[in-house]
Amino acid sequence: MTVNFMIRKCSVSDIIVLTAYGEELFRREKPKRLEKAMEENAELHERLGFDNHSYVALKFRNWIIEGVPDQVFEDHVEECKIVSKHSNFKKLRFTAWLQAGIYALALKLPKFSTVFYRKRYNDDGGIMADEEIARYDYDTFVEEPKIKEILEQAIKILERMRELNFTVRQLISLGWCERGLKDEEA
């Protein structure tokens, strides 16, 4: 996670991990298969024209949630997901919806879309994603209450983590560790 508790800042990816992939918080390393898939998906995003590189930020409950939408148009945001045979499509659809919704709120755009492409390999082992398999269009105003409800829950978790972080820092600065060790030695 890229959370900064001191200034209450996190990424959209942090919100996605917290809400949809909580078990990933406790993984030390990403599996090699996942790293390879993420690299391939980034390459496919570029090829498909989902190549925005500009950060956007949403201020929500004293937190700054920032990220990079896949594509920004005059009146909507598009989030692209690459679907493989190993993908959990329902979870991908949720994460795409939440990401695009956060970006649309941050940019104050009236609409957002999620687009899904099937990843496949050609005969020489190269990756391709030339088949759009689904597209969903949303009205930001209609989706806003659901998005904010999820963000509320995520921010509550981050606030509890922040409290724990500050409690531990305070204990350390007060010399609790040193006192505890001295008490055990006696």
- Tens-place pLDDT, residues 142-176: 999 999 999 999 999 999 999 998 888 888 887 76
Query: Does 184 score more than 70 pLDDT?
Result: no
User: pLDDT tens digits for 6-65?
Assistant: 999 999 999 999 999 887 777 766 667 677 788 888 888 888 888 888 999 999 999 999
Rounded Cα gap, residues 20 and 14, in angstroms: 10
Q: Give the pLDDT score at 179.
A: 55
The partner residues of 57 in beta bridges, in order of sequence, read 66
Is pLDDT at 181 greater than 60 in this prediction?
no
Kind of pairing, strands 111-121 and 127-139? antiparallel
pLDDT above 60 for 183: no
| pLDDT value at residue 182 | 53
What is the C-alpha to C-alpha distance for residues 171 and 186, in angstroms, rounded to an integer? 21
The residue whose two tokens read 């999620």 is 114
Q: Output the CA–CA distances (angstroms, integers) from residue 83 to 24, 37, 64, 110, 133, in the order listed.
A: 20, 10, 30, 27, 9
State how far the Cα of 41 lies from the Cα of 20, in Å rounded to an integer: 19
Non-local CB neighbours of 96 within 8 Å, separated by 6+ positions = 79, 80, 81, 114, 116
Q: What's the predicted TM-score (pTM) here? A: 0.87
Q: Provide CB contacts within 8 A for 47, sequence distance 6+.
A: 129
Tell me the two tokens of residue 159: 């606030």
Q: Characterise 125 by phi-psi region: left (phi > 0), alpha (psi -120 to 50), beta (else).
A: left
Helix (H) or strand (E) holding 64: strand 63-67
Q: Report the alpha-carbon distance of residue 28 to residue 110 in Å, rounded.
A: 39
Q: What is the pLDDT of residue 42?
A: 86
Domain 9-181 has CATH 1.10.287: no
**Mean pLDDT over residues 113-134, rounded?**
90
User: Rounded mean pLDDT of 130-150?
Assistant: 96
User: pLDDT-based confidence at 123, cuts 50/70/90?
Assistant: confident
Mean pLDDT of 66-95: 94
